[in-house]
Structures are given as structure tokens and as C-alpha cells.
Amino acid sequence: MSILADKHTKVIVQGITGRDGSFHTGKMIAYGTQVVGGVTPGKGGQEVHGAPVFNTVAEAVKETGAKTSVIYVPAKFARDAMLEAAESPLELVVCITEGLPTLDALVAFEALQKQGIRLIGPNCPGLITPGACKLGIMPGEIHMPGRIGVISRSGTLTYEIVSVLTKAGMGQSTCIGIGGDPVIGSRFLDLLPLFEADPGTDAIVIVGEIGGQDEVVAAKYCQEKMQKKVVAFMAGLTAPPGRRMGHAGALVGGEDETAAAKIEKLEAAGIPVAQVISEVPALLSK
Amino acid sequence: MKIHEYQAKRIFQEYGIPVSTGMVAETAMAALAAAKEIGFPVVLKAQVHTGGRGKAGGIKLVKMEAEAETTARDILNLTIKDLPVRKLLIAPAVEIKTEVYLSLLIDRGASVAVFIGCAEGGVEIEQTAKTNPEKILRLEVKAAGLASLTPEQCLPLAGKLFADPGQANATAEIMAKMGQMFMERDCALVEINPLIVDNDGIVSALDAKVLLDDNALFRQEQNKSLRDLDSEDLVELDAKAAGLSFIRLDGEIGCMVNGAGLAMATMDIIKHFGGEPANFLDVGGSSNPDKVVTAFKMILKDQKVKVILINIFGGITRCDDIANGILAAMKQFKVTVPIVIRLVGTNEKEGRALLAGTEMVVAETLEEGARRAVEMSQGR
């Protein structure tokens, strides 16, 4: 079992003919993901790694029956790609693109939300249900099917944590990178209930960082509503205040937004926080 | 991206938000001339990219001509929070009858655009939010409708700021214009603190703070020209132009990492083992070899760096791209400091094969790499 994606998930790729889009479509297919088509305006009729290319999302969805779209188009066009997705009967949109203007992300998120379509990202690695379906850019081979759920604001830091889990023999049910931008479609709070309800997940790792209050809000939810074990890792203990650390959202705005303040609040809510990444498996098995 | 108050006020003026734009001067003499033209009393305001200007002595009321030049010189000699004052805004002094706080921003916790109001102006809004959260007023608006916002839609908040219908209506009109400006200029924050009513009952913006979205600069030529290069770290700007995120720190271990979260975690673990990172450096996703060369250049500029730790977990970044970049950098620069490298993920084998035969210390895990780098930085 898993959340959001499994071996039956049919996927279209928006921006399938681009450098990143075609490369990662190949990797997704090699992992076993059912990529049933792709979209690039003006390139309908071509094929990428055997998947048919359509001119519009509407056409691709109608022909393939896909309910999920993964977006690799450049930042300049990502809003329009998401707005087009919002016009189609999709259920899940995963936007990998980084560097979107914040207002573009917000306008697109509003449109998707109105149609009841879940958005993961933007500026994220995507999500993976190990052994079944990969919707994004994470290296598939570091994952292993299992019963730990992972939700993270980071990309490569998630890979780091997942590979530590895999080496410790702890497989994953689903791993989701929610993205590091100020405006994202799904937050810790939106995804925790799905893992809580998933019979295939035993425990959850949340990977946070400086900036915002999402981890603290999530901790309160875990304490009040969740039965399953939740552990955390928080990046940015050494980040200087007032500086934007790469991610648009990774800026210590106030004293509540530092890694240290968040760790304190997470621990107060009964969520163990790993000091170094390699401690995560031990915290899970305690 | 931060801009100065005088620049923000000029944008307000373009959008018809009532404001006195004043005049800008870079010398005490020019400040005096401007003050004479405006007419005393005037307020001299330091133009620097930080708050707390008033407390630092950067904002002064000047009542008569005799004081103007000395006061201007005093402020121009200030350095506020490490930022030297190079420009002054000279504005007419206004009698304030009432003042309120008003801003428009994106609430990242809720992913909505929201107006924030507070009937007490001129205050530290973050402080009020903590001590008296009931005084903070919110009005959420759809981003899709920001550009076409009407005063009627803004009245529910404006009416709580001012009991007087005329003043409430004027404020609602200002809010609608803030919405249009926010959307059209790709703002991240538009703040008026305070918004005032003068003795004639006129509502206007006494101060202006605007943050612009860096990610939208590709479509905002006007915004780009507002960047004040004197107020920014040039090395960090160069990095940005090359598609890297770079922040200088004080330590001895130069870091090159892909991904912001992993870059932060790498700094954290260096510190955990007793070392000090020299920088934050995210080479970004989809990295081409040129970025790695630029990254090396940035790190090597820092004379304090004793060892370089490269930590790459390939995803969209391919390890062979990184390896090619490292080889190109080694050819181009004389790298005398030792390098510890940890290279895993997409195209890992290809990347490692390219680097076989170089003198780098290869680590299998982040912890091993960090520990080795710390030891080497301490001469062990």
C-alpha cells in the first residue's frame, strides 16, 4: 500500500520533449512507471521513449485516461502548464519546475484547488512509491519498498535520508518532496492524514528546514490527531538569520522560524528530532 | 529583492497611491538644496536596505535651514547594520492626526494573498502580532483577482481601520491600487507603515516598503533597474547570475553541494563535528559543468578556505556533469587546497570513472566526508 501513486497510476508528462523532461521520462519508465503520454504544444504526433506526444493536456487526458500529470516545463511557462492542467479531469499534478515567480505559483494553485486537483510542488523532486511508481527526478535505486512514509521540503536532502533508511533495511511506502518555495500545493499538514489512514505505512519521517511555521503546525497535528509514530530532521541550524538559503522559502523571518526554535517545538510535541541524518533509523525503531 | 523607500514611493506614485515622493540627495549640500526647495520643516531619511533606521539615528526632523547641512552630513556618515548610508530622502514634514498599519503580502502558511491591517500605525507589526494578535486585521484575496480588485472588495478591512467613511473609502481605493501594483510589478510585499490622516483629513502613505520577487525578474525589466549594487554582496550577485546560490560565512571549509536543503544539512554536520563552513553554496539542479567551474572560482576567492568539501547527491543533477566541471576547474585554476568529495546518485559510476586518478579524497557517506574535511581543516 501507499499514498497518491501506485503501480496502476497512469501518468502524462508536460514538457516531455525538453532536456530534463525527456531524460526523466526515460528514468520514470525504466523504473516501471506507466507514462502513457506527454504534452508539448506544437510537437503532437512525436514519440518520446515510446510515449505519444500530444499538443494539449485535454487531448492527452482524453486519449490516455491519465489522472496524473508531472510538469517539467521551464519556469516561464509553468503557470500556464498548471492552468491548462486545471482545465482537465486530472486528480494529481506534480510540478518539478524550480524558479517560478511566487504569484504564478499562487494563481496556478488557486485554479487547481478550485477543481479539486491536488498539487505537489512546485520546485520539488516529486514523489515515489518504491517498486511501483516514480513521479519525479529522484534516483529510483536508493529506494526500497516498505512501510515508512517520508515528507520533505528538500530534494537532495530527502535522497540522503531515504538512502540511510534503505541501508538500515527500512523500506518506504511513499516518499514525497513537497518543495521549498513559499507557495506550495501540499504541506506536511495536508499529507500527514493520508499516511495516518494508509494501512501500508507504519511511521513517518518529516524533513524540514528554516523558514515558515509548517513543521510546528504539523507537530501540533501529530500530537493531537495521529496514532502513528512521527520522527523529524531539521536542516539549517547553522543558517545565518535574514539570509535566503537557496530555497525561496528558506529564510529565517522571525525567531520562531529558526531550526533551533522548530526543533524545540517538535520535541515538546513528542516528535523526536535526529541531530544527524544517520540517527533517523534508530529514532524510528525506538 | 529589496529596494529603497524612495524607489518604492515612486512606484506608489505611478499607481496613484497618495504619497509625497520627496527628493533624493547623495551629499549634504544637495540635501540642503532639496530641503530649501521643499520648504522647512523637512524629514531626512537614510536610504538603506534595513529596518530600524529611526533608532539608529537615520531619520531626523530638520526645522530650519541652519541645521540641514550638518544633520544631513551626520546621517550620511552613518553605517546602519553594516550598511553605509549613501543616499538621503528629503521629505516634507507632515502633521499626523491618526496613523495605521497596512500591508499586502503572500501568507506562506496558508498559500493566500492577504491584506494585513492594524489600527495602530508606526508599530513593529511582528511584535503586535505576538503580544496583541486580536489587533491584527486580515482580508484574504484571490491572487487571480488582485489586478482587478475593487475598492468595494477592500472596504471590509478599510472600514475597520477608519470609522470616518471618507477616510475608509480613500483607504479602500489605496488597497485596490496596492493589489494592482502587487500583481503587475511582481511584488513579494507592499507595506505602508504608517498610512496617515493629516490635519486636512487626507489619507496618504508616509512610508513605503516594497519587496520584489527575484524569480520574476526575467519579465520585469523595470524591477531589475532598481537593484542597488552598493547594498549587495557582489560575489553573491555574481553567483546568482551564474545560477548558483552562494552565501559567504566565516569558516574554513568551502562547501559545494547540490540542493539547498542538503547544503544546509552539510553546513550543520560540519559544525556538528567541530568545524566551520566557509560558505553556503547550492549548485542547483540540472547543473552544467560551467556552474561547477564558477562555484570553484567563488570558493577559491576566499583565502580562509583550507579544504573543500563537495557533496553531490545526483537526482536531476548528473554526477558526470559535476565530474566534468571539476576537471575543467582543475585545469583552469591552481587548486592547492585538498578536496574531499562525496559523489552519489544519477550517473554516479560515470562520474567516479571521470575522476579516477585525481588526488581527491573520496568519501562514501556525508558523515564520513564531513568528518574528513573537519580533520583536514584542523591540520589532522
Residue of A nearest to B281 (CA): A246
**pLDDT tens-place string over residues A164-215:** 999 999 999 999 999 988 899 999 999 999 999 999 999 999 999 988 889 9
Residue B239 pLDDT: 82
Q: Which three cell numbers stand for residue B244?
A: 548558483
pLDDT given for residue B233 in this prediction? 73
Mean pLDDT value of segment B312-316:
86
- Domains A10-120 and A139-285 are alike in CATH topology: yes
The pLDDT tens digits for B177-227 are 999 999 999 999 999 999 999 999 999 999 999 999 989 999 999 998 898
Question: CA-CA distance, B160 to B170, in Å (whole number)?
Answer: 13
Nearest Cα to A117, choosing from A59, A177, A185, A178? A185
> A118-120 and A92-95: which strand pairing?
parallel
Catalytic residue chosen out of the listed positions B69, B99, B173, B191: B191
Q: Has B101 been annotated as catalytic? A: yes
Quick one: which H or E segment has residue B99? strand B96-107
Percent of chain B at pLDDT exceeding 90: 74
B264 touches A at CB < 8 Å:
yes
Which whole number is the average pLDDT over B281-308? 87
- A126/B contact by beta carbon, under 8 A: no
Average pLDDT (A226-240) is 93
Structure confidence at residue A254 as a pLDDT band (50, 70, 90) = low
Segments in chain B forming alpha helices (H): 5-14, 28-38, 65-76, 125-131, 151-161, 165-184, 221-224, 234-241, 260-272, 289-301, 319-332, 348-355, 366-377
Annotation: CATH topology of A10-120: Rossmann fold (3.40.50)
Report the percent of chain B where pLDDT is more than 70.
Answer: 99
- What is the structure's pLDDT at B289? 82
Which of A 246-265 lie inside 8 A of B, CB atoms?
A: 246-250, 254, 259
Cα gap B324→B160, rounded to integer Å: 61
Select from A100, A109, A254 the Cβ nearest to the Cβ of B126: A254
Q: B6 an active-site residue?
A: no
Phi-psi region of A70 (alpha: psi -120 to 50; beta: other; left: phi over 0): beta
Among partner residues A111, A138, A238, which is closest to B267 by beta-carbon distance?
A: A238
- Residues 6 or more apart from B297 whose CB is under 8 A from it? B329, B333
The pLDDT value recorded for residue B255 is 97
- Site from B116, B311, B316, B346 to mutate, A interface, most A CB atoms within 10 angstroms: B316
Q: Given this model, what pLDDT does residue B37 score? A: 96
Measured from the Cβ of residue B94, the count of other Cβ atoms closer than 10 Å reads 15
Distance from CA of B200 to the nearest CA of A (A): 38
The answer to whether residues A37 and A28 touch, using CB atoms and an 8 Å cutoff, is no
Of the pLDDT bands very low, low, confident and very high (cuts 50, 70, 90), residue B308 is very high
| Catalytic site residue from A8, A49, A143, A247 | A247
Residues of A in contact with B215 (CB under 8 A): 75, 99-102, 248
**Residues 6 or more apart in contact with residue B378 via CB below 8 angstroms:** B274, B275
B110 in contact with chain A, both atoms CB, cutoff 8 A:
no
Quote the strand ranges of chain A, DSSP E: 10-14, 34-39, 47-48, 51-54, 68-71, 92-95, 118-120, 126-129, 133-136, 145-152, 172-177, 203-209, 229-235, 273-274
CB contact under 8 Å between B247 and A156, yes or no, is no
Residues in chain A, how many? 286
Which chain A residues are closer than 8 Å to B269 by Cβ?
A: 276-277
pLDDT above 80 (res B132): yes
With 60 as the cut, is the pLDDT of residue A252 above it? no
Phi and psi (nearest 5°) for A192? -55, -45
Distance CA A83, CA A122 (A): 13
For chain A, the domains span 10-120, 139-285
Q: Does any CB of chain A come closer than 8 Å to the CB of residue B282?
A: yes
- Cis peptide bond N-terminal to B41, omega within 30: yes
pLDDT above 90 for B231: no
**How confident is the model at residue B129, as a pLDDT?**
80
Band of residue A16 on the pLDDT scale cut at 50, 70, 90: very high
The closest of A63, A129, A111, A48 to A93, measured between CA atoms, is A111
Lowest mean pLDDT among A69-83, A87-101, B231-245, B261-275: B231-245
pTM: 0.91
Supply the pLDDT for residue B357: 87
d(CA B231, CA B272): 33
What pLDDT band is residue A1 in, cutting at 50, 70 and 90?
A: confident
Does the domain at A139-285 match CATH 2.60.40.10? Answer given as no
pLDDT given at position A248 = 56
Residue A251 DSSP symbol:
B
Q: Which of B214, B261, B315 sits opposite A153 (nearest CB)?
A: B261
Note which residues in 299-338 of chain B have CB less than 8 A from chain A.
Answer: 313-317
Reading phi first (left if > 0) and then psi (alpha if -120 to 50, else beta), residue A279 is in: alpha
List the single residue in A with minimal CA-CA distance to B278.
Answer: A238
* Contact by Cβ (8 Å): B112, B119: no
pLDDT, tens digit, for every residue of A96-148? 998 999 999 999 999 999 999 999 999 999 999 999 999 999 999 999 999 99
Q: Which residues pair with B187 in a beta bridge?
A: B212
User: Residue A212: which of B109, B143, B270 has the nearest Cβ?
Assistant: B109
Question: Residue B12: what residue type?
Answer: F
Closest C-alpha to A171, from A128, A130, A134? A130
- Beta-carbon separation of B282 and A213 below 8 A: no
d(CA A171, nearest CA chain B) in Å: 18
**Beta carbons of A24 and B316 less than 8 angstroms apart:** yes
Q: Does A160 touch chain B (CB under 8 A)?
A: yes
pLDDT for B315 equals: 79
Mutate to test the interface with B, among A142, A156, A166 (most CBs of B within 10 A): A156
- How does residue B272 score in pLDDT terms, banded at 50, 70 and 90? very high
Looking at per-residue pLDDT, the higher value among A215 and A246 belongs to A215
Q: Which helix (H) or strand (E) holds A218?
A: helix A214-225
Q: Does B211 touch chain A (CB under 8 A)?
A: no
Query: pLDDT, tens digit, for every residue of A71-93?
Result: 999 999 999 999 999 999 999 99
Which pLDDT belongs to residue A251? 59
ipTM value for the complex: 0.89
Task: Give burial (CB, 10 Å; 0-12/13-18/19+) of B199.
Answer: exposed
pLDDT digits (tens, 9 = 90+) for B52-80: 898 899 999 999 999 999 999 999 999 98
Q: Does B356 touch chain A (CB under 8 A)?
A: no
Residues from chain A contacting residue B111 (CB–CB below 8 Å): 106, 109, 183-185
The one-letter amino acid code at A30 reads A
Distance CA B12, CA B139 (A): 21
Q: Report d(CA A100, CA A111) in Å as an integer.
A: 16
| CB contacts, 8 Å: B142 with chain A | 110
Whole-number pLDDT of residue A247: 62
Selected residues 46-75 of chain A with any CB under 8 Å from a CB in chain B: 75
